[in-house]
Structure 1
Amino acid sequence: MQFKDYYETLGVEPGAGDAEIKTAYRRLARKYHPDVSKEAGAEEKFKAVNEAYEALRDPQKRAAYDQLRARGYRPGDDVQPPPGGFGGNGYGSPDFEEIFAGGGAGGGFSDFFESLFGRGGFGQQRGAGPQPRGDSRAKLAVSLETVYEGGTVRISVNNRTLDVRVPKGIRPGQVIRLAGQGAHGDLLLEIEYAANPQFEVDGRNVIHVLPIAPWEAALGATVSVPTLGGPVELKIPANSEAGRKLRLRGRGLPNDPTGRQPPGDQIVELEVLAPRANTEAEREAYEQLRDAFGDDWRRA
């Protein structure tokens, strides 16, 4: 099993803050997303970026990873798990194992990730021997698309395949009980949301950062925006500035199964990006803009 440097994958320093890690993840996930990238090996790079972010976005996972990394491992170095796996030796969590399902950013993680953070103990410390009868607990990370639509996801538990029905709009922290599927009783799956390269969650709202060109910001435009329910057309008002937020009502997460929380909205935050001038015609276009606006545009 080869060591992976998750900081190197995201292009950040080990002391990077959460905001810097999130920004790097967004940039790389957008660059290598299989739906838009034409680069060779983009899908594998996209998976690597998702895995790195999944490891570093959670404080407990990051602390466990940093503890191992401090031993001086470099990318490609062979790492041998201790007897019973890392989960029984201070890495990962002895209280919860983590299962990823439902597509999106979850799933398809490397052996290194699974060995470090656990995948098969489900509520008991590895190598701890027989356990008394009782429920087992696990965290189930599901994609936002699955939360939006509801449906069935397939998971592997102790070399068994189970289909789990995920209710539409389920919230983090809610629990799905699978009767008789634990090691010594029922299996309790605590829901959490898998990282998504296009959306962040704020309560029942989802936030999407939309890159637009300077002329779209200045002149206004109608552009296609991804939502959890599929792309929609969004009208950008003229003279919009970077950071402006536009609301797509009802496009957030749906009402939760208890009916206690209403559906959310999608908040679209505008990010104005200047395309690179790679051709003579493009450079001339920028020169015309420079001449038209002059040097006083900052004061304006």
Structure 2
Amino acid sequence: MARDYYEVLGVPKTADAEQIQQAFRKLARRHHPDVNKDPAAEERFKEINEAYQVLSDPKTRARYDRFGPDFRQIPEDYDEQVAAGRAARAGGFRGGGPEGGEYVDFGGAGVRFEDLFGDIFGGQGGPAGRGGQGGRGSRGGRGGVRMAGADQTAELELSVEEAYRGGKRKITIGGAGGRDYDVTIPAGVVDGQRIRLAGQGGRGYGDAPAGDLYLQIRIAPHPRFRLSGRDITVDLPVSPWEAALGATVPVPTPGGTAKVVVPAGSSTGRKLRLRGEGMPNPKGPPGDLYAEVRIMVPATPTDRERELFEQLAAASSFDPRRRS
């Protein structure tokens, strides 16, 4: 049984978006595998990410609040399906399909044909209606009733690195006892993009085709990389002397380590652009990577370092608080 997402983040069900974000950041810093070497940290981090992805999206959160942990199994047009089923029960069923059969394009993932129309058409091979007359809607009538399988949507969460490089991945949808899929992830997928698995959605009724399964990409928050479309921003720690004198320093990217030139006189907040080092794009130019300068000082300077800083302070007339 999946844990309650509010419990995972340690927030009440009345928590607002800011409280949810603050709770996530605090827990993500504590449990990220790069920081926490506990073998259980990675699974805990994944659980925290999943909870945040659901609760940070107002639409997804509303569905979770309404349907609980199985909300992903409920079609997004659930209310419309219920209304259509009631209308069908009240007013009968019409529609012509190929070869005289009945065809219903009804997005009914998880909605049984018999539940909606059984009392109108009767059972297998039975009468079509309460009057006992066979009809075009009967499964025993002309061509049989056909109902297209519903298109279905599921979320696929990826790390920034997985989205960057793409590749093969086996996923299971439906929890324990669910269905396995082999998915090819294109390099450079972005948040919100969909991957289509043709014919892997809801089963068709009769000989109607199955629907498609769409995997909607969700890129998990990363402790280092920040994404904006295909552009990536990463903090670049530099020493005071590197910032003042200039230097060539390494910068991490999802694809490995690159080099960036820090111009002399750089201050915290300056962004250095690495063209084409952002997310790949199979249909156009890749994104860029921005290394944002962060000047760091020794937390516990040695006696010699303190002496040199004191000499610099005595010799320099620079005042960072004075407007130029």
TM interval, shorter chain, is 0.5 to 0.7
CA distance in 2, matches of 1:21, 1:214: 32
Aligned-residue sequence identity (percent) comes to 39
Residue 322 of structure 2 corresponds to which residue in structure 1? 299
In structure 2, which of residues 203, 209, 213 is the aligned counterpart of residue 188 of structure 1? 213
Q: Which TM-score applies when normalising by structure 1?
A: 0.62
Write the mapping of 1:285-296 to structure 2, written as runs, cut at 5 A: 288=310, 296=319
Give 1:173 shift: 4.9
Write the mapping of 1:61-140 to structure 2, written as runs, cut at 5 A: 61-63=60-62, 67=65, 86-87=70-71, 94-95=75-76, 128-129=111-112, 132-140=147-155
Query: Match of 1:138, as an amino acid?
Result: T
Query: In 2 relative to 1, CA 296–265 (structure 1 residues): closer, same or farther, beyond 3 Å?
Result: closer
Give 1:155 shift: 1.0
CA distance in 1, matches of 2:167, 2:45: 25
SS in 2 for 1:226: strand
Q: Does 1:156 align with 2:175?
A: no
Query: In 2 relative to 1, CA 273–146 (structure 1 residues): closer, same or farther, beyond 3 Å?
Result: same
Write the deviation string for residues 196-254 of structure 1: whole angstroms up to 9, x where unpaired: 41323223222223344444433434332221211112222232112111111111122
CA distance in 2, matches of 1:44, 1:283: 42
Task: Report the more deviating stretch, 290-299 or 223-232.
Answer: 290-299
Query: Match of 2:165, as an amino acid?
Result: E
Task: Report the more deviating stretch, 34-43 or 171-180.
Answer: 34-43
Query: Match of 1:276, as an amino acid?
Result: A
CA distance in 1, matches of 2:24, 2:58: 17
Residue 195 of structure 2 corresponds to which residue in structure 1? 176
Q: Does 1:21 align with 2:2?
A: no
Query: Match of 1:87, as an amino acid?
Result: F
SS in 2 for 1:169: coil
Higher RCO (CA 8 Å, separation ≥ 6 residues): 1
Q: Does 1:146 align with 2:130?
A: no
Query: In 2 relative to 1, CA 283–48 (structure 1 residues): closer, same or farther, beyond 3 Å?
Result: farther
Give 1:5 shift: 3.6
CA distance in 2, matches of 1:281, 1:51: 47
CA distance in 2, matches of 1:285, 1:7: 46
Query: In 2 relative to 1, CA 33–172 (structure 1 residues): closer, same or farther, beyond 3 Å?
Result: closer
The unaligned stretches of length 5 or more in structure 2 are 78-106, 115-146, 204-209
Q: Going by fraction, where is helix more abundant, 1 or 2?
A: 2
Contact 2:238–2:293 (CA<8 Å) still a contact in 1? yes
Q: What root-mean-square deviation, in Å, do the aligned CA atoms of Structure 1 and Structure 2 show?
A: 4.2
Residue 54 of structure 1 corresponds to which residue in structure 2? 53
CA distance in 2, matches of 1:294, 1:41: 52
